[in-house]
């Protein structure tokens, strides 16, 4: 049972483009929604996170949009760069799962020069 569904599986954009990665969750008790970035051969690292009391959060070129009623959230990368090429994971936690993050299946992003 996949509690966090992520799409697309892979994404290719040109430098300067705005890739968008989407996630949907099922558990209404979730109250913490982070995005992790993973480079090849490395462990995932926290990129940005949001809680359901706000609809949007920006950190640099990265923005999370959150739609509580639709149980969806998305990551937007403004002015994407080749260095942003990585795998991105959304995740969620809260309620009975407050101690553990449930991850989406990941999106492999390639930004072409």
Partner 1 sequence: NAGVTQTPKFQVLKTGQSMTLQCAQDMNHNSMYWYRQDPGMGLRLIYYSASEGTTDKGEVPNGYNVSRLNKREFSLRLESAAPSQTSVYFCASSTSGNTIYFGEGSWLTVV
Q: State which of residues 13, 20, 48, 102 lies at the interface with partner 1 (CB under 8 A).
A: 102
CB of 14 to partner 1, least distance (A): 25
Partners of 22 in the β-ladder: 7, 74
- Using rule CB under 8 A, residue 59 touches partner 1: no
Which residue in 7, 17, 22, 32 binds partner 1 (CB under 8 A)?
32
| Structure token pair of residue 40 | 């090849």
Q: How many residues does the chain have?
A: 113
Asked if 95 and 31 touch (Cβ cutoff 8 Å), the reply is yes
Q: Of 17 and 38, which has the nearer Cβ to partner 1?
A: 38
The torsion angles phi and psi of 96, rounded to 5 degrees, stand at -65, -15
Contact 25, 103 (CB under 8 A): no
110 binds partner 1 (CB under 8 A): no
User: Given the complex with partner 1, which of 90 and 111 has the nearer CB atom?
Assistant: 90
Binding residue for partner 1 (CB under 8 A) from 89, 92, 109, 111?
89
Interacting residue with partner 1 among 12, 18, 29, 45 (CB under 8 A): 45
In whole angstroms, what is the distance from residue 84 CA to residue 109 CA?
A: 8
């Amino acid at each position: 049972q996949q509690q966090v569904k992520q799409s697309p599986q892979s994404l290719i954009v040109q430098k300067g483009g705005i890739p968008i990665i989407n996630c949907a969750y099922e558990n209404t008790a979730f109250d913490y929604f982070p995005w992790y970035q993973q480079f090849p051969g490395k462990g995932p690292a926290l990129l940005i996170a949001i809680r359901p009391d706000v609809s949007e959060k920006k950190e640099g070129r990265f923005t999370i949009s959150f739609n509580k009623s639709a149980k969806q959230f998305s990551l937007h990368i403004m002015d994407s760069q080749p260095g942003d090429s990585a795998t991105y994971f959304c995740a969620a936690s809260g309620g009975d799962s407050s101690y553990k993050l449930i991850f989406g299946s990941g999106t492999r992003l390639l930004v072409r020069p």
